[in-house]
Structure 1
């Protein structure tokens, strides 16, 4: 029997590519989108003759607590959850924190409390951290700090809060894996080779298609542990990069307060 993925924020660019890749891999996908006028676009992602795509109109912003998040998870009954939702800079700081922090945390906690769900992948951002990692040079940390204090300030705060909660909550279940996938700046280039885990720096791009393919590889891998993984364009195939982080037990939360949980 194929597995069932719930994609929260299904109308986003990464989410749409991810939906197509999962459907080609015989997954069942439930894509949660915000408005009815997005339905036809998401439905068009399914190959002709396939009926393994469900589209659910539900505003993530309106999920105010863990109980409401659990209600949605109970309705869908997925095996895995991918958080690809975000305010996208629209609506000011309040909306950024409502979606990227509060709603994300509600769904993380709800997923951990739902026995049938065994994996949660949160799409975050590489610069979201409190301390300089020892594998970056000073220039890389300076760039990350500029992102944290500049136009991405509220986004970084919200994402970091969700990243930290993911590690804390995932540690409560031995049979649950929580992964924060933290790409650099996203591009619309075709999928290609990547750098995954402890990247050599903080500045750089990665294609949305590569992010989507990496998510699928992470979902399919059975030996992953809860972790944060940074991601940029690089020199390895997605498959080799994922095998590498599994083999090396990479976790770029190293050095953060939550790393020792």
Structure 2
């Protein structure tokens, strides 16, 4: 391949994206990292990415289409992270994510491939509405279901409980809470999986549930 793959990391200052950025650059990917807080620019630039300051909650479907037309792959790794209440979670994790999906889908044959970072069991959650995790669970379910209804070439990454542990490899498991019970997924591994599928075709499955394991990421088929 003579031309570098052009990837957009949405949520570029998140833990996973900061880990993925240098991995992608080492894999000869042209990385643009999208973030909201101007204070984060220098840290992202130091990793070697092109910076793009945007607030995802302000972008319309048309804005997204105009933005995404210049990329081969888009990675949604943005999220409220429970910082600013339920309204912000719905605005970022659900509404902005869906707007970005619609923007990509509107490009038709020129649409980028789309990687959504989600979690195991997102589409079948049974979280109690009174639980603090409920807005996030509902938001991810809505975004994942919306993505799956499109004609995009997409992949939903479904890790278990996230850590910052070092890992030796990956294990692909069933997309259920039962299978994920007691299992964890390192953010390092999530970054490795993102890198793997930015630079090669997506696996056979549209949803990839995975935890820390012993197999190389390259073995996922």
Q: TM-score, normalised by structure 1?
A: 0.77
Q: Which residue of 1 aligns with 2:39?
A: 37
Q: Equivalents in 2 of 1:124, 1:62: separation in Å?
A: 22
Is 1:86 equivalent to 2:79 in the alignment? yes
Q: Residues 51-130 of structure 1 correspond to what in structure 2 (within 5 A)?
A: 53-63=49-59, 65-74=60-69, 77-114=70-107, 115-130=109-124
Contact 1:78 1:116 survives alignment (8 Å): no
Q: Return the offset for 1:147.
A: 7.8
Q: Residues 197-208 of structure 1 correspond to what in structure 2 (within 5 A)?
A: 197-198=173-174, 201-203=179-181, 204-208=183-187
Is 1:161 equivalent to 2:154 in the alignment? no
Q: Equivalents in 2 of 1:194, 1:12: separation in Å?
A: 21
Please state whether the residue corresponding to 1:103 is helix, strand or coil.
helix
Q: Which residue of 2 aligns with 1:150?
A: 131
Structure 1 residues 195 and 15: alpha-carbon distance in aligned structure 2, compared to 1, 3 A threshold = same
Contact 2:120 2:160 survives alignment (8 Å): yes
Contact 1:163 1:180 survives alignment (8 Å): yes
Q: Equivalents in 2 of 1:206, 1:129: separation in Å?
A: 19
Show structure 1 runs of 4+ deviating over 6 A.
Answer: none
Q: Which residue of 2 aligns with 1:9?
A: 11
1:65-86: per-residue Cα shift (whole Å, max 9, x none)?
A: 3112223224xx1101000000
Is 1:220 equivalent to 2:199 in the alignment? yes
1:189-221: per-residue Cα shift (whole Å, max 9, x none)?
A: 124211225267122211101011111112223
Please state whether the residue corresponding to 1:10 is helix, strand or coil.
coil
Contact 1:193 1:233 survives alignment (8 Å): yes
Q: Which residue of 2 aligns with 1:235?
A: 214
Q: Return the offset for 1:161.
A: 0.5
Q: TM-score, normalised by structure 2?
A: 0.90
Q: Equivalents in 2 of 1:235, 1:94: separation in Å?
A: 39
Contact 2:80 2:89 survives alignment (8 Å): yes
1:73-110: per-residue Cα shift (whole Å, max 9, x none)?
A: 24xx1101000000010111111000000100111111
Q: Return the offset for 1:231.
A: 1.6
Larger radius of gyration: 1
Structure 1 residues 149 and 237: alpha-carbon distance in aligned structure 2, compared to 1, 3 A threshold = farther
Q: Return the offset for 1:222.
A: 2.5
Contact 1:22 1:216 survives alignment (8 Å): yes
Q: CA RMSD in A?
A: 1.9
1:102-126: per-residue Cα shift (whole Å, max 9, x none)?
A: 1001111111222433410000111
Could you tell me which runs of 5 or more consecutive residues in structure 2 were left unpaired when the two chains were aligned.
none
